[in-house]
Amino acid sequence: MTTTETTPGPALDAFIAALPKVELHVHLVGSASVPTVLELARRHSGATEVPREEEELRRFYTFRDFPHFARVYGAVNQLVREPEDIATLVLGLARDLAPQGGRYAELQVTPYAHHVVGLPMRAVTEALDLAARRATAEHGVEIAYIFDIPGEYGEEAARVTLDHALQEPPAALVGFGIGGIEQERPKYRDAYRKAFAAARAAGLHSVPHGGEMSGPETIWEVIEGYGAERIGHGINCLADPRLVAHLRETRLPLDVCPTSNLRTGQIARIEDHPLPRMLEEGLYVTLNSDDPPMFATTLAEEYQVAARVFGLGRAELAELAANGVRASYLAEERKRALLAEIDALTGPTEGPMDGRAG
């Protein structure tokens, strides 16, 4: 990769702002802005330990490590208690993405979290459907959904997630995933493999997290055991040259979220992030925000980080944006339209995916 036009400044800022973007790795609850979380905390006073004042909430979002982040995320999750809360989160994401050039998001939803607070599957699905329609109509942002298993909760979580995906899916459901603490997954290996097999048989794409907080073995497991078509994070692949070669040869997309990895303690400094080396190795990378308000970032800010910290210029940033479009599950005509917009800013980008992820 040849870096061009990397000097930070108004021209590059304007280019990033104008660049059409898709968000392939963002979580429903993690997308909630500070004002939205405060609204929910006040609406459901006493439901969790989530602070109801802004300064306290921002301190609450200072994470010691990934398990601490998972506990905070779970506390915020407990605030989503009514169908209206779900719709509020989806619409908040669309509202926040639109001024960043965001055109499309594959939003990761955890049905099990709504199940444990007593929300019926149909009510959750109706809220997701309504919110997706309003997101497009009111903000011009198209929403798709990925249902993910919280990986530390085992067989029941897998069953609930799969049942919801198969019995009461939202119209825009495109994928099936798994997140949470990766080190807990091996004890539920068979249940997770079976759930992914059933979801894939029903036509859902396999988009698990892997290699965020554990090593290459987790990435191999999601490839071989879950049939992964795209992987969330994957940053620890570099420890295994054979895995790097496999990812490069198969063009398996990796949804990378640099600021997330910093905030949850997976890297010590943003400068230590493996994104530049992943690109040097010829891996297929998309750029995403994960849980943006919790990590004090945005999708546009991730592009700024790529420019300021890693020295990527206009061509490389456009390539990352195009990667996201090609690796998405958008309809092909929508992909072509977005790629044409990106090309209009920079000239044609190469197409390493060859339509693989569509």
Q: In the prediction, which pLDDT does 350 show?
A: 59
Instruction: With beta carbons less than 8 A apart as the criterion, state whether 109 and 128 touch.
Output: yes
Secondary element (H or E) of residue 339:
helix 332-346
Domain covering 10-344, topology = TIM Barrel (3.20.20)
Mapped onto helix, strand or coil, the DSSP state of residue 154 is helix
Q: Write out pLDDT tens, residues 199-256.
A: 999 999 999 999 999 999 999 999 999 999 999 999 999 999 999 999 999 999 999 9
Q: Is the pLDDT of residue 266 over 50?
A: yes
Burial (CB < 10 A; 0-12, 13-18, 19+), residue 238, is middle
Q: In the prediction, which pLDDT does 226 show?
A: 98
Average pLDDT along the chain = 92
**Stronger pLDDT, 357 or 39, i.e. the higher one:** 39
- In which residue are the tokens 């660049």 written? 19
What's the pLDDT band for 149 if we cut at 50, 70, 90?
very high
Percent above pLDDT 90 for the chain = 76
Name the nearest CA neighbour of 254 among 319, 324, 336, 192: 324
Instruction: With beta carbons less than 8 A apart as the criterion, state whether 357 and 319 touch.
Output: no
Taking residues 57-83, report their average pLDDT. Answer: 84
Q: Is the pLDDT of residue 352 over 90?
A: no
Q: Is the pLDDT of residue 41 over 90?
A: no
Instruction: With beta carbons less than 8 A apart as the criterion, state whether 160 and 112 touch.
Output: yes
List of residues 6+ apart from 111 with CB closer than 8 A? 121, 124, 147, 160, 161, 164, 165
Cβ atoms within 10 Å of 69's Cβ, excluding its own: 22
Active site annotation includes 212: yes
What's the pLDDT band for 357 if we cut at 50, 70, 90?
very low
Greatest alpha-carbon pair distance for the chain in Å reads: 54
Taking residues 320-335, report their average pLDDT. Answer: 98
Catalytic: which of 23, 142, 182, 212? 212
Name the nearest CA neighbour of 175 among 136, 206, 140: 206
Q: Is the pLDDT of residue 358 over 60?
A: no
Q: In the prediction, which pLDDT does 34 show?
A: 83
What's the pLDDT band for 135 if we cut at 50, 70, 90?
very high
Mapped onto helix, strand or coil, the DSSP state of residue 27 is strand
Burial (CB < 10 A; 0-12, 13-18, 19+), residue 163, is middle
Cβ atoms within 10 Å of 5's Cβ, excluding its own: 15
Token representation of residue 259: 């600021």
For the chain, domain boundaries: 10-344
Name the nearest CA neighbour of 346 among 15, 49, 8, 7: 15
Q: Write out pLDDT tens, residues 309-322.
A: 999 999 999 999 99
